[in-house]
Amino acid sequence: MKATGNAEQTDSIQDLSFEEALEQLEAIVRALESGQGELEQSINQYARGAELKKHCEEKLENARARIEKIVMTADGRVSAEDMNPE
């Protein structure tokens, strides 16, 4: 794969939802486990899988941080703080 192709794939990963990225990652794992691809293809799939895994971990960390921002007010009500105040 050319470097520009990798950059385009990496950019497109950033646009994926957690569920989409996880689905692609699972498909890559199944393909690699089958052992039927060519070596170069397997290496490229592994690299994309690593990027997808990183993306999923970032999405989960962001979700965790958002959940932690949910706070209980003094009168017992629950409120959420804006993660990205403008």
pLDDT digits (tens, 9 = 90+) for 22-38: 999 999 999 999 999 89
pTM to 2 decimals?
A: 0.69
Is residue 73 in a domain? Answer: yes
- DSSP 8-state secondary structure symbol assigned to residue 58: H
pLDDT digits (tens, 9 = 90+) for 50-85: 999 999 999 999 998 888 787 766 677 777 666 554
Residue range(s) defining the domain that contains residue 41: 3-80
Alpha carbon 3 to its chain centroid, in Å, reads: 21
The answer to whether 66 and 83 have CB atoms below 8 angstroms apart is yes
Q: CATH number for the domain including 21?
A: 1.10.287
Is residue 20 in a domain? Answer: yes
**Count of domains for the chain:** 1
Residue 84 has a pLDDT of: 55
Q: Which of 37, 36, 45 is nearest to 9 (CA)?
A: 45
Q: Pick the range with the lowest mean pLDDT from 2-6, 9-13, 58-62.
A: 2-6
Measured between alpha carbons, how far is 80 from 68 in angstroms, rounded to an integer? 9
Is residue 58 in a domain? Answer: yes
